[in-house]
């Protein structure tokens, strides 16, 4: 199969840290252009906007959109209207309505669209899903805590409406849990700790349950220092399953089943190549819906101002 010519929209931290290395190592994609008003890559055609890139590279087959969420709807619409396959960095939009509009447009145009939940491609996720599918689940505990100063330095947009605050990493945990659990679950209550100078939470405590009232507790915190915590524990009739290190380590009933190097973004681009080739979409809004529910039901508590 010949390589897929792809353009990258937004050359910020996530694009430099993850998308560029994944595209560079992929046998399926060839980066031919970028769209960013502030950044150029040596040896790659650079444009100030997506519109300019689409005009300048009319044979482009796909675009990966890595801009802040409030920009993604208009950019994805433009790419789809030009007949391009679209990969959306998580979350796929600022609102559920935006994503639904894009999904409908992608279907009308026959263009593949991929809501790319990268954490679902962590090494232990698929095996965890298979093991849990045949077992009775008693309880789930999620602990997702990291240092915002390390992962989002100088990124003030994360504290503005649409930036999601601690749900920017927290949605990664939700993307895994919605993938590995065999049935849907629902938010029952939430506490959101919002700094006095911010619009989005720096920490959150969430209580979910499924139709069988299985308790699911989640604790998200952006104030973690030292070692970072990305753990999910599921108690079942046959013992505890633990996905730790963001899903790179799988332990079942005290035995290490899998411990592998993280390759989320390369695996994610492998899947996108399959979607582009097969002309199909993969758009799941369940993680974003849970975040929207948290903002809807959550009790807000004002905490100390955030100072970077």
Per-residue pLDDT tens digits for 269-285? 999 999 999 999 999 99
For the chain, the average pLDDT equals: 96
At the topology level, CATH places domain 4-116 in Rossmann fold (3.40.50)
Q: Report pLDDT digits (tens) over 59-104.
A: 999 999 999 888 999 999 999 999 999 999 999 999 999 999 999 9
* Catalytic-residue membership of 90: yes
> Structural domain boundaries of the chain?
4-116, 120-260+292-303
What per-residue confidence (pLDDT) applies to 2? 81
* C-alpha–C-alpha distance, residues 184 and 178, integer Å: 7
Write down the pLDDT at residue 83: 97
In sequence order, what DSSP letters do the residues of the chain get, joined into one string?
-PPEEEEEE--SHHIIIIIHHHHHH-SSEEEEEEE-SS---TTSEEESSHHHHHHH-TT--EEEE-S-HHHHHHHHHHHHHTT-EEEEESSS-SSHHHHHHHHHHHHHHT--EEEE-GGGGSTTHHHHHHHHTTS-EEEEEEEEE-BHHHHSTT-GGGGSTTS-TTHHHHHHHHHHHHHHSSS-EEEEEEEEEEETT-SS-SEEEEEEEETT--EEEEEEESB--SS-EEEEEEEETTEEEEEEGGGTEEEETTEEEEE----HHHHHHHHHHHHHHHT--B---HHHHHHHHHHHHPEEEEEPPP--
Per-residue pLDDT tens over the stretch 107-158:
999 999 999 999 999 999 999 999 999 999 999 999 999 999 999 999 898 9
> What pLDDT does 136 receive?
96
Q: CATH says 120-260+292-303 is which class?
A: alpha beta
From 13, 84, 90, 145, the catalytic residue: 90
The answer on pLDDT for 1 being more than 80 is no
Model confidence over 3-58: pLDDT tens digits?
999 999 999 999 999 999 999 999 999 999 999 999 999 999 999 999 999 999 99
Report the pLDDT value the prediction gives residue 87, as an integer from 0 to 100.
Answer: 98
CB of 62 closer than 8 Å to CB of 7:
yes
Distance of CA 180 to the CA centre of its chain: 15
For 228: left if phi > 0, alpha if psi spans -120 to 50, otherwise beta; the answer is beta
Q: What is the pLDDT of residues 153-195, one digit of tens each?
A: 998 989 999 899 999 999 999 999 999 999 999 999 999 999 9
Confidence (pLDDT) at 142: 98
Residues sharing a CB contact under 8 Å with residue 196, sequence separation 6 or more, in sequence order:
302, 303, 304, 305
CA distance 288 to 286: 6
The whole-number average pLDDT for the span 231-251 is: 97
pTM: 0.95
């Amino acid at each position: 199969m010949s390589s897929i010519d792809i353009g990258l929209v937004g050359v910020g931290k996530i694009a430099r840290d993850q998308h560029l290395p994944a595209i560079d190592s992929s046998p399926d994609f060839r980066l031919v252009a970028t769209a960013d008003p502030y950044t150029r890559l040596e040896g790659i055609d650079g444009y100030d906007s997506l519109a300019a890139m689409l005009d300048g590279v009319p044979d482009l087959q796909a675009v990966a959109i890595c801009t802040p969420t409030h920009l993604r709807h208009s950019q994805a619409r433009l790419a789809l209207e030009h007949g391009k396959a679209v990969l959306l960095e998580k979350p796929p939009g600022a609102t559920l309505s935006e994503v639904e509009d894009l999904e409908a447009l992608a279907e009308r145009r026959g263009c593949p669209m991929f809501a790319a939940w990268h954490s679902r491609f962590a090494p232990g996720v698929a095996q965890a899903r298979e093991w849990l599918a045949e077992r009775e689940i008693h309880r789930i505990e999620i602990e997702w805590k990291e240092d915002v100063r390390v992962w989002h330095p100088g990124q003030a947009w994360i504290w503005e409406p649409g930036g999601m605050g601690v749900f920017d990493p927290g949605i990664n945990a939700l993307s895994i849990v919605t993938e590995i659990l065999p049935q849907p679950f629902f938010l029952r209550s939430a506490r959101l700790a919002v700094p006095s100078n911010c619009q989005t939470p720096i920490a959150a405590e969430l209580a979910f349950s499924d139709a069988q009232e299985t308790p699911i507790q989640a604790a998200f915190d952006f104030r973690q220092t030292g070692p970072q915590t990305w753990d999910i524990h599921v108690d079942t009739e046959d013992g505890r399953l633990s996905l730790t290190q963001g899903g790179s380590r799988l332990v079942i009933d005290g035995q290490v089943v899998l411990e592998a190097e993280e390759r989320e973004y390369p695996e994610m681009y492998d899947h996108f190549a399959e979607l582009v080739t097969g002309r199909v979409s993969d758009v799941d809004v369940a993680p974003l819906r849970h975040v929207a529910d948290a903002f809807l039901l959550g009790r807000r508590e004002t905490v100390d101002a955030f100072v970077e």
